[in-house]
Each structure stands twice: as structure tokens, then as C-alpha cells.
Structure 1
Amino acid sequence: MLNTRVLGVVASVLIALIIGLVAPFAGLPQQGHWILATVIVTLGFWIFRPGGLPFMAGGSLLLAGCLIFGLKYNVVAAGFISPAVWVLIPALYFGFVLQKTGLGKRIAYLVLKSFEPSWLSMAVSWFIIGIALSALTPSITVRIAIVMPIAVSVVEACKQAPHSKGSAFITIIAWAMCLFPGTGWLTGSLTGPIMLGFLPAELKGMATFDSWFQILALPWLLITVIFIVLIYLTMRPKEAIGIPRDTFRAQYAALGPVTRDEKVAIAILIGSLIMFTTEKMHGIPTAAVALMALALLIIFKIIAVPEVSTGVNWDVIMFFGVAISLSPIFVNAKVSDWIVPILQPNLMSLAENPLAFLLVTTFGIMAIRFIDVPWGFSTIALTVPILIPVFNQFGIHPLVASMAYIVGINFFLLSYQQPFTLMAEGMMQGKGWAPHHVTLAGVSYIISVVVALLISMPYWRMIGVIR
């Protein structure tokens, strides 16, 4: 496996050298060729990660390479001054607080103990838990870290064998609820800050908390509900769930009384959510609210001084900052000017029919995700300038057009395509789903997306975000 990973990096380096030295792409300046080569080397390190190298290794190569080949510091590091990163950093601390205080686990068991156990109530419970945790932190990593150990304990309590339909039903729905519901609002998932960072400067002002919720809440609610229904129909065991209600009550009671830290944390997090949703009234941007909440968590000592450096994964922050920088890097190196005329004729012809445009671009991004593994970020950065003429000429709102990218970020059909799948599998240690369950769930996701797009189209026309 290590040799395969090393060979993958070596192959990316060789491809990059050919691009840089031969300059095969007509119309792309020499600087653009070397920048494209640098990005390919970076992707090689991000995808294959030989020896478990952190994302920072590839990110540092990208920043260094772009500086070497003539780009300015303010371009290369543009992602780190983006509001997206300054929402991301407090958001990761919010997740850390949910774990540290036990608040996330308390919310999960509070919901689970509120229903009479059945396969249907189990699905409903995970749905509610997913929404509740998404409201408190956009960190999917934290949500998975909270939810998956509980899901495994439920599998064991229900006496479901590893890789059985029952274990897959419980764990896949629990995992999916960490990803899908929160995508419907700007701060419910890291997808929100990420897409905000990728959007061209002239379109960023259109991606507010209110506009994101108005445009994307319905399709992602539909995707979530349809996905749950499909998993319920295909993976639900025939026998009863076989777990007494007192099981969850006992586990909730074992958490003890609500602590002072939990009370302070929930007050700050709910206060932040209220401020996010009322931005039109007070005018304070989302990043400022998130940073104020972080300051309060430190002032009230919910986050201790040593935890400022250890409470979040700074490698992930580095990765997102560098990834968001790809858009201005491609623009300034003229890579975007080279690729847009190639893509524009076909996409512009499709944009006359918004449904055809969304379906084709969505399936295109899904297909690219088999190669562009790190959430498709390089593809987004390379093609996102196309959203400007799509909006100006055809009146398709950037957040509607971004649906293809957002679907692609959450896409999975095989485990390697979704880092959050690999994370959950590592935590479950073989006690959850089997590989074929992941593929079945991926097909269910694709069906959910198509149905959601079909239903959302008349809604988008009604609210005026499609001309």
C-alpha cells in the first residue's frame, strides 16, 4: 500500500514535469503551465498521502510553488484572509466544545430516549440528532466523532452482527445525518464556508445566511428525507429492533446532571445561531459572530489555554485555506482564462434550460470525484468562474448553480471518495456496514439528488432565483 501511494505521488510529479516543460496547452501562458503542474503535484500528495503525510505537506508545496513561479503573496494566501476560514476556525472549536463538555452526547441520548425503539423511530431519531448537532457546529468531523460511537453501541445493544443489514441501517443513517441536513444552511456544514470561499468576489455578496437557507434548505431537506426512506426500504431488517426503551434512558442517566460548562456552551452556541439567522436585522457578518462566540468560550474557560493549540486540527485549517486560495491562484495565473472558453460554449447552451444545466453539471462533478478525491476542490476552483456568465446571461443564482458543486462535495459511491466515510469506518472497526452497503447508499444518494432537483426547480422559479 505504501509503495502504491509513493508511486501515485511519483506519477503526479512526472505528469507535472511534462506539463511544465513541454507546455502542451495552447493558449495557456508558461506561468499557467507551471502553476497547473504545481497543483497536480499538490493533488498527488493530498490524494495518496504516502506514509500518512498531513495535508500541510501538499499545501506547503502549493504555496511555495506558486511563489516560485511568480504569483504575489496576497494571491497565494488569499484563502487565509477569506471570511470562510474565519468562520471555519471558530466552527471547529464549537465542535471541540461539544465533545469536551459531553453536550453532543447528551443531545444524542436525549433524542434516542424520547422514542419507543423501532427501526422507524431509530431513523427519525438520527434525523433529529443530525439537525440538532448541525445547528450547534458545522464540523462534520466532530459530529461523526460524537455520533458513530453511539451508533456502534446501538448496533451492539440490538445484537446486530457486523456487516449485517441491521448494523448497516443504523450506522449509515447515523453517518449520513452528520453530512446532509446541515448542508441546507450556511453554518450547518463546512460546505457553506467552503463554497463562500470559492465564489468569485463579485458573487460572494449573494451567499448570505438568509439566501443560502432560502435557496438550499428545501433541496437538502428533500435529499435527506428521500435518502432515509430509501435506506429504510432497502436495509431495514425484517425482525423487530429488539431493544428496550430503558436502554437509552439508562445511558442518558449515566451522563449525570447538566454541568456548568454544558449550560454556558449551549447558551453561547444557541446565541450564535440566533445571530447567524438574524444577520439582516443587525448587520453583523457571520465571521464576526463566530469569532465573538469563540472569544466568549475562551473567556468563560470552556476552552482552556492549552486547548487553544490542541482543540482543533490545524492541518485541516491549513488544507481548507490553501484549497480556497486555488480560485485566485487560477485566475491570476490565467488558468481560468484558458479553461473557461473551453467549457463555456457547452455549458452556456445548457444554461438556457436550468434543469438540464444542473443535471449535467451535477453528474459531471460526481464523475470527476472518482479522480479529484479531496472533495473535488481543485475542480471547483478551476471551473467556478463560469458561474459569473451563468448568472449574468441566464439569471441562474450562484447558489442554485453551486448545487452541483455541493452535491459533489457530499458525493460517495465507494469509500475512498468520501474522507468522512473512511473516518467513520476507522471508528467503527468493522462493526458497521460492509462495502456493498456503501455503494447501495451512494446510489440512494444519487436518486435522492435527482428527485430533489426535479422538485426544487419550480420552487426556485417561484422565489425568483431562476429567470
Structure 2
Amino acid sequence: MSKKIRNSLLIIFVALAIWFTPVPEGLSPQAWHLFALMVAVIIGFILQPLPVGAVAFIGITVIILTNTLTLAESLAGYSSSAIWLIVSAFLFARGFIKTGLGRRIAYLVLRSIGNSTLKVGYALAISDLILAPATPSSAARAGGIIFPIARGLASALGSEPGPTSRRAGAYFLQVVYQTEGVVCAMFMTAMAGNPLMVELAAKVTGIQISWGMWALAASVPGLTAFILIPWLLYLVYPPELKHVPQAKEIAKEELLKMGRLTLQEGTLAVTFVVALFLWCTSSWNQLNATTVAMMAVSALLIAKVLTWNDVIQEKGAWDTLIWMGSLVGLAAELSKKGFIPWFADAASSAMSHLPWAACLGLLIVIYMYSHYGFASLTAHISAMYAAFVAVAVASGAPPYLTVLALAFTANICLALTHYSGAPGPIYYGAGYVELPTWWRLGFIFSLVNLVIWIGVGAVWWKVLGLW
């Protein structure tokens, strides 16, 4: 029996086992059956007997066929603005790759500061950060744009997998990977799961987080982590080469090959800056983040930076639309049918002996290190985020503090293992860092990130008046 068949049978078994378990007191049969099928969908996301989008589509179909939800209720999630924000951001990101503007930005940063291995590390990470607001895929950003540059630099400096890996390449790849979770956390549009968490938080707690509020809340802990991590990695995992003036020369050569800034690159750059301005001033201009993203994509289509063929070929956008739309809709219905409030009350009662701070702290630690069992940030979010937020708020934790702390934790756990985020297999597969070292560094920097994001972050959010 193949692994995919075994996983499919396990998913069906779990769904049936929960479905036919007696309905707990205080819940309706409809809420319990919806929970059973949603658990099956989430397990399907984790085990992936079929692609995630296919699992979501089949799950929605079963929910409709079993009369657990109506057709309208089952498809309601696809009208969510968060879904279309991510679709638009994927299309925006395609422009950076298609025009070459992403590579140009990385080489410009490298040319400016890249005369030592530490500075090259910062240059690679800064390039990733610059691209993040309009690139919701860490695989496309860190894997498709930054990785080839980092790998090429390592080779040019005589650092290859094996005996020379520690010369420079191992540090370059680790500094990008260890800062990738921070980059994902900095902006709502930097990771596909972030708008999903915003949507789930709204369903569970009723609070609304705008693009600007997210960026402001992330700014101080994010920049602190961004400044410290490359330097700390340089201390605990030092490269053999310290000064690499040839890195600037490599960047200059690559920029010469690329030639002058093209009209398409210039149009994309202006559109990007305008979109950032509108996102950051949404409280003043009253434009929803999704509206701004759609305006930007429309401008790129009108200017022919993107063609309609580019749009329909952006598989990541439409795959995300299917699976994320299903989750948003099902999560909303779970709350409406009473399951989320019931679960939060039950779990908070079990933790009633703990003060809210201890309860929230415990949930954050559990969330962080349970990621050892996940190969996807979005699957982890789908499985645990809404429930953990509900439990913490029910225990008395301030809603904004809870939503932000768990949302940022959901990003910074990316670097724990070589499989815990989309760029992981790409960077580990390069062969520069041995597996035990990879996991050791992942654990060390998970502690660093928790101290910064939850410690410094909580103080910053207090200053902002969010709790």
C-alpha cells in the first residue's frame, strides 16, 4: 500500500471517528460534524495525499454533500478580502521576478555594503526585507531571488559544499534562512498565512488589524531581530573569510550585465512605492489593503508590466485562493455554529488555575515548538492559531497582545528545521550545512526570536496602547 493511500485512509478514519463520537454537551450535532470534517481537511494539509488545493476542494465538496453546511455557507470564505490581498500580492511578486527588479535591488544593496562576509550577510537579508511587502511567498523571495545570488557569491569566493563550506557559503545561506521568519513577520503581505491569521483573529475576537498596524507592531521587535541575528550568527557560526571586497565587484559586474533600468522595472518600482505609501496611510486615505493591492496589479496590467497570461499562469495565487478561501469560510462557520466559543471555554476552564500571562506564555511556547511536527507555516496556522487565540483570550489575556504574539510566533518558527518552511529544502539541499548543525542553530535562534518578539514586542505594543 502506497504512502498516499495510507494517508488518505487515515484522514477518512479520523473524520469518521470524530463524526460518530457522541456530541459533547453544549454543542450541536452540526457544529461537531463540521469540526470533524475540518480536522480531516487540516490533517490532509499536513499529510498531503493530494496537493493542498485539491484537499481543500474535496473537503468543501464533502461538507456540502453531507449537509453539514449549505452551498452558500461553504463558499462564503472566497469573498474574504484577505484572500484577494494575497492573490494580488502574488501577482505583484511575479512582476519582481519577471522584470528582474528583485535581482537588481539585491545587487544594488550588495554593491553598497558588501565588503565583508558580515556585511554581505546583512546585504542579502536586507534585499529580502525590501522585497517582502509585495512578495507573500518565501519560496519565491528567498528561494527564487536571493538564493541564486547567495549561492553564486559563495562559489565565486571559493566556498563549495564540503571542506570549503565554512569559508563563506554556510554563513550566507544560514543568515538568509535564520532571518527569513523575521522578514515574513514584518509585513502582513510578506507571508501567505498572515492575512489568514488576521481574518481568523477577526472571527474569534472581533478585532481588526490593518496593514499599517501590523507593520507598526512588527517594526521594533522586527528591526531588533534583524539587526542582532546576522551578528549573533557571525559569532556562533563564524565564516572563515572575514573580508570579501570582491563581493562588491561581483555585484558591479552583474549590474553591468543587467544594463540600465528598464521602463518596466521603473514602472514596477514606482507602483511598489505608491502601494507602500497607501498601505501605510490607510487610516488617512480609507483605502483597504486589498483595494490598494488590486489597484497596483491593475496599474501593472495597464502598463503591460504584467500580461493577462502572467496572471493566469501564477499558480501560487490561485492555489492559495482555493485552500485559504476554504479555511477562512470553515473557521468562520465553526465560530458561528458555536464550536470555537465552546472549545475556548472548555480549555480555559482546564487552565483556570493559571494567570492569563502564564497561560499565554505556555501557549506561545507550545505553538513555537509544535512546529517540529509541521512542514508548512500555513498548515500550522490552520491547525492551531484560531484555537490558541480563543483559549488565551478566554483566560483573560488582552486580545491584541494575544493575536500579535501568536501571529509573530507563527512566522519566527520557520527556521527551526530544514523542512519547516518553503525555502528550507532549497537552502539545506545546497549541502553547505550539516543536519545536526542546522537544527542546533534553529533552536538557538528560536530562543533569540522569542525573547525579542515576545519580550521587546510586548513592551512596544504596550507603548502603542494595544494592551
Indicate whether the TM-score tops 0.5: yes
Residue matched to 1:375? 380
Which of residues 315, 321, 328 is equivalent to 2:325?
A: 321
In structure 1, what residue type is equivalent to 2:215? F
SS in 2 for 1:417: coil
Kept after mapping to 1: 8 A contact 2:84/2:321: no
- CA–CA separation in structure 2 for the residues paired with 1:347 and 1:293: 47
The yes-or-no answer on 1:285 pairing with 2:284 is: no
1:198-347 to structure 2, matched below 5 A, reads 198-201=200-203, 203=205, 206-240=208-242, 242=244, 244=246, 245-313=248-316, 314-345=318-349
1:47-66 to structure 2, matched below 5 A, reads 47-50=46-49, 53-66=50-63
Give the 3 Å change call, closer, same or farther, for CA 116–40 of structure 1 in structure 2.
closer
Give the 3 Å change call, closer, same or farther, for CA 136–419 of structure 1 in structure 2.
closer
SS in 1 for 2:188: coil
- CA–CA separation in structure 1 for the residues paired with 2:122 and 2:374: 33
Residue matched to 1:39? 38
Shift of 1:364: 1.5
- CA–CA separation in structure 2 for the residues paired with 1:352 and 1:34: 31
Kept after mapping to 1: 8 A contact 2:178/2:442: no
Kept after mapping to 1: 8 A contact 2:37/2:63: yes
What CA deviation, in whole Å up to 9, does each residue of 1:165-197 have, x standing for no partner? 332211122234444235223334434322222
1:128-207 to structure 2, matched below 5 A, reads 128-144=126-142, 145-162=144-161, 164-165=165-166, 166-201=168-203, 203=205, 206-207=208-209
Q: Number of matched residues?
A: 455
- CA–CA separation in structure 2 for the residues paired with 1:384 and 1:365: 11
- CA–CA separation in structure 2 for the residues paired with 1:437 and 1:82: 42
In structure 1, what residue type is equivalent to 2:14? I
Shift of 1:212: 1.9
Give the 3 Å change call, closer, same or farther, for CA 344–433 of structure 1 in structure 2.
same
Give the 3 Å change call, closer, same or farther, for CA 176–76 of structure 1 in structure 2.
farther
Paired-residue identity, %? 20
- CA–CA separation in structure 1 for the residues paired with 2:315 and 2:269: 19
In structure 2, what residue type is equivalent to 1:186? M
Kept after mapping to 2: 8 A contact 1:92/1:139: yes
What CA deviation, in whole Å up to 9, does each residue of 1:300-327 have, x standing for no partner? 1111122221034221321222222232
- CA–CA separation in structure 1 for the residues paired with 2:438 and 2:26: 42
What CA deviation, in whole Å up to 9, does each residue of 1:405-433 have, x standing for no partner? 431344143333323323x24xx743443
Residue matched to 2:421? 418
In structure 2, what residue type is equivalent to 1:381? A
SS in 2 for 1:419: coil
- CA–CA separation in structure 1 for the residues paired with 2:386 and 2:330: 6
What CA deviation, in whole Å up to 9, does each residue of 1:219-263 have, x standing for no partner? 222333333233222222234355613122111211111111101
Q: Which moved more, 1:17-26 or 1:266-275?
A: 17-26
Q: TM-score, normalised by structure 1?
A: 0.88
SS in 2 for 1:415: coil
- CA–CA separation in structure 2 for the residues paired with 1:211 and 1:281: 13
1:48-127 to structure 2, matched below 5 A, reads 48-50=47-49, 53-67=50-64, 68-127=66-125
Give the 3 Å change call, closer, same or farther, for CA 307–461 of structure 1 in structure 2.
closer
Shift of 1:137: 3.0
In structure 2, what residue type is equivalent to 1:77? L
Kept after mapping to 1: 8 A contact 2:368/2:410: yes
Shift of 1:122: 1.3
Residue matched to 1:12? 11
Give the 3 Å change call, closer, same or farther, for CA 146–62 of structure 1 in structure 2.
same
Residue matched to 1:402? 404
Unaligned runs of 5+ in 1: none
- CA–CA separation in structure 2 for the residues paired with 1:230 and 1:346: 40
Give me the CA root mean square deviation. 2.6
Give the 3 Å change call, closer, same or farther, for CA 280–405 of structure 1 in structure 2.
closer
Kept after mapping to 1: 8 A contact 2:170/2:239: no
Residue matched to 2:436? 436
In structure 2, what residue type is equivalent to 1:55? V
The yes-or-no answer on 1:447 pairing with 2:447 is: yes
Kept after mapping to 1: 8 A contact 2:159/2:169: yes
Residue matched to 1:21? 20
- CA–CA separation in structure 1 for the residues paired with 2:193 and 2:228: 20
Kept after mapping to 2: 8 A contact 1:91/1:139: no
